[in-house]
Amino acid sequence: MRLFSLLLALLLPLPAFAQADRLVDEHSYAEPSKVRISHLALDLEVDFDKRQLAGSATFDLQWADPAARELVLDTRDLEIAKVEGRTGNRKWRELDFSLAEADPRFGSKLTITLPRQFAQVRVTYLTSPQASGLQWLAPGMTAGGKTPFMFSQSQAIHARSWVPLQDTPSVRFTYTARIKTPPSVMALMSADNEPAALRDGDYSFEMPQAIPSYLMAIAAGDLVFKPISPRAGVWAEPQTVDRAVKEFEDTEKMIEVTEQLYGPYRWGRYDLLILPPSFPFGGMENPRLSFITPTVIAGDKSLVSLIAHELAHSWSGNLVTNATWKDMWLNEGFTSYVENRIVEALYGKERADMEFVNSRNGLLEEMKQVPVAQQVLMLPARAGSDPEEALGAVAYDKGAWFLQFLEQRYGREAFDPFLRAWFDQHAFQSATSEQFLAFLEAELMAKNPGKVTREEVLAWMTQPGIPDNAPRIESPRLAAVDAARADWLGDRKAARELPTAAWTTQEWVYFLEGLPATLEPDRLVELDQAFRFTGTGNGEIAQRWYPLSERSQYFEARPAMSLFLRKIGRRKLIMPTYEALASTEDGLAFATQIFAMARPGYHPITIGSVEALLTKARAALEAAPQ
């Protein structure tokens, strides 16, 4: 395969940035070319009062450079008490270490100096109460109101805030852990959680498959388990678990569909952990235990594509991982494509097409604000950049669109086996776009000549925008929504006369996104009286209705808007409303007031996003001519 890659590079040179070593991770201090962590043993105690984890991390090391005498780890706001090393069962020997000055984005470089290449190194440490990858919730912020809650969010580079690690997706390791908590608290990890585990405050875990650091996960709270199938189930607070089991009862069917398409599920169990609404994302694909927002429990399964997405990561992302964040599309683009195939298989092509069209429209809208350099799938190396920038719609939806283009050209009878082979042959590995390009050329293009050219492939991977040859899926049901919207905007029908009785969330999203940026307040009154958008429990509708309300000066929605922003911490759902509020002086004052009340219940990641937005808005208003 290496010879083929060289020939491909000679036949069709990639852009200059793509010819660089894309295995180099600009977002990590680690030096995996010299030494790699192969196994991690954690021994931690959870202190809810101090909002800290305390204990040790022991690393098994694989040395690649005979001359190397340093182990460099990523940390953020960790208090390092001691570092020791040993080989075999010999006595631990204390080692010298230095912790560099903290970079606000990447944390502190931890350099451990060794007299020789020890097989193991142990770091004893303490996390900060403000750790960016952990959220601590007081009992009053949970569904039960009696037990505190803690959970992690390690992607992209937040694992280093609760474990000193080589915090890069290019390094994979197995791990074991012993976690101590108060006896009333159940602890879980992205590992072999036992459904029948006793709640005793002392828990042991094992993850036998090698994973990258961003898939390390921990949670602790008043959690109970209910099964969906022999290998899948739900962990949640007692007040939430029954609704979640009912909403996500198709999870086993999703696993079976994906196995038929792309090969066996290789992680043992697949469970869902339903987190409090402060969780900053829709879901996080932690192996064996996907973290899920409660905002997708809509009562009608209209938002369960998120479960399909997190499950799909068990093949794309968790099994085959992008080696660096520059190639994030190998993770999220593939996953979004597989998600759509799962939705189609279980809920029909009509629904899958509606979801694809909504995602496509969201991508096209977002790309109006995305710098040209970031509109490519193979992102250029940018020292000092925030890896979170790679987590936008380009990686997710342009990546999925590219795979849909390949599927259309080759047909599923050829493309499905190709994608399965990609997962099989790169299982438990970290890959680059160059590797995918070489595999595509050898396994699909060469075996099915004349269907796709190299130039077409590279246009998708290395050029901004969307190629003209992109497939254009259309949805008859969304076309009917277009007609209904036009009838209302053209005063041909009142809102209550529109044929909306059978509309799903996907159709309502499409309806709202197609409205003008602003409307007269009386028009919003009409919509609200007909459809009761204000106060909706559907976050996908709320995230579109409240910004429209604010831009249109429909201030009657503000009380419900305030409640929504204080209750929900999922960034996707709340940031559009904060952005709309922050565009005016009055709205900014209102947003600042809401944020002050909501902040204690927000995750550090969400706090950072809202703070940055409000700070920028204040600066813009101060600089504006009076």
Same domain, 436 and 571: no
Give a yes or no: residue 480 inside a domain.
no
Instruction: Answer yes or no: 407 catalytic.
Output: no
Q: Which of 163, 153, 147, 240 is nearest to 199 (CA)?
A: 147
User: What pLDDT score was predicted for residue 2?
Assistant: 30
* The amino acid at 413: E
Instruction: Answer yes or no: 365 catalytic.
Output: no
- In this structure, the dihedral spanned by the alpha carbons of residues 16, 17, 20 and 24, taken in order and rounded to 10 degrees, is 180
CB 314 within 8 A of CB 270: yes
Give a yes or no: residue 231 inside a domain.
no
Same domain, 57 and 190: yes
Which structural domain range is residue 99 located in? Answer: 27-127+158-207
Could you give the angle at which helices 329-347 and 251-262 cross, rounded to 10 degrees?
110
The catalytic residue among 310, 441, 507, 550 is 310
Q: Within 10 Å of residue 350's Cβ, how many Cβ atoms?
A: 15
Does an H or E element contain 464, and which?
none
Q: In CATH, what number is assigned to the domain containing residue 411?
A: 1.10.390.10
DSSP label at residue 411:
-
Q: In CATH, what number is assigned to the domain containing residue 79?
A: 2.60.40.1730
**CA 248 to mean position of chain CA atoms:** 19
Same domain, 529 and 423: no
Same domain, 448 and 537: no
Could you give the angle at which helices 571-581 and 558-567 cross, rounded to 10 degrees?
140
For residues 605 and 541, which has the higher predicted lDDT (pLDDT)? 541
Instruction: Give me the chain's average pLDDT, please.
Output: 93
Give a yes or no: residue 421 inside a domain.
yes
Same domain, 342 and 428: yes
Same domain, 361 and 437: yes
Q: What is the pTM of this model?
A: 0.92
User: For 326, phi and psi rounded to 5 degrees?
Assistant: -65, -25
Give a yes or no: residue 396 inside a domain.
yes
Q: Of 175, 207, 239, which closes a domain?
A: 207
Same domain, 440 and 556: no
User: What pLDDT score was predicted for residue 3?
Assistant: 30
What the block records as the tokens of 409 is 């050209």
User: What pLDDT score was predicted for residue 20?
Assistant: 46
- pLDDT tens digits, 470-498: 999 999 999 999 999 999 999 999 999 99
Q: Which of 187, 158, 177 is nearest to 48 (CA)?
A: 187
User: What pLDDT score was predicted for residue 380?
Assistant: 87
What the block records as the tokens of 333 is 């683009």
Contacts of 419 (CB under 8 A, 6+ apart): 261, 262, 334, 403
Give a yes or no: residue 440 inside a domain.
yes
Q: Of 207, 235, 268, which closes a domain?
A: 207
Q: Which of 344, 305, 325, 376 is nearest to 540 (CA)?
A: 305
Convert 562-619 into a string of H (helix), E (strand) and C (coil): HHHHHHCCCHHHHHHHHHHHCCCHHHHHHHHHHHHHHHHHCCHHHHHHHHHHHHHHHH
The angle subtended at Cα 121 by Cα 120 and Cα 125, nearest 5°, is: 150
Same domain, 443 and 532: no
Q: In CATH, what number is assigned to the domain containing residue 610?
A: 1.25.40.320
Same domain, 80 and 177: yes
CB 547 within 8 A of CB 515: no
Mean pLDDT along residues 10-37? 70
The catalytic residue among 262, 270, 337, 396 is 396
3-class state of residue 538 by DSSP: coil
Query: Whole-angstrom Cα distance, residue 174 to residue 38?
Result: 7
- pLDDT tens digits, 103-156: 999 999 999 999 999 999 999 999 999 999 999 999 988 888 899 999 999 999
Query: Which stretches does DSSP call E strand in 336-484?
Result: 429-431
Q: Report in angstroms the alpha-carbon separations of 317 from 21, 282, 286, 324, 332.
A: 21, 16, 10, 12, 7
pLDDT greater than 70 at residue 17: no
User: For 417, phi and psi rounded to 5 degrees?
Assistant: -65, -35
For residues 6 and 486, which has the higher predicted lDDT (pLDDT)? 486
Same domain, 558 and 458: no
Contacts of 556 (CB under 8 A, 6+ apart): 525, 528, 534, 549
Q: How many domains does the chain have?
A: 3
Contacts of 182 (CB under 8 A, 6+ apart): 46, 48, 201
Query: Whole-angstrom Cα distance, residue 324 to residue 399?
Result: 16
CB 281 within 8 A of CB 572: yes
User: What pLDDT score was predicted for residue 8?
Assistant: 31
3-class state of residue 9 by DSSP: helix
What the block records as the tokens of 417 is 């086996």
3-state class percentages of the chain: helix first, strand second, coil last, to nearest 5: 45, 20, 35
Half-sphere exposure of 234 (CA within 13 A, CB side): 25
- pLDDT tens digits, 540-571: 999 999 999 999 999 999 999 999 999 999 99
Q: Of 207, 223, 245, which closes a domain?
A: 207
- pLDDT tens digits, 82-96: 999 999 999 999 999
Tokens 């809102």 belong to 495
Give a yes or no: residue 449 inside a domain.
yes
Q: Which of 305, 425, 422, 326 is nearest to 377 (CA)?
A: 326
Give a yes or no: residue 443 inside a domain.
yes
- pLDDT tens digits, 291-330: 999 999 999 999 999 999 999 999 999 999 999 999 999 9
pLDDT level of residue 5 (50, 70, 90 thresholds): very low
Same domain, 73 and 173: yes
Contacts of 577 (CB under 8 A, 6+ apart): 542, 543, 546, 547, 550, 561, 564, 565
Same domain, 56 and 190: yes
- pLDDT tens digits, 231-276: 999 999 999 999 999 999 999 999 999 999 999 999 999 999 999 9
Give a yes or no: residue 56 inside a domain.
yes
Q: Which of 527, 557, 529 is nearest to 543 (CA)?
A: 557
Mean pLDDT along residues 602-613? 92
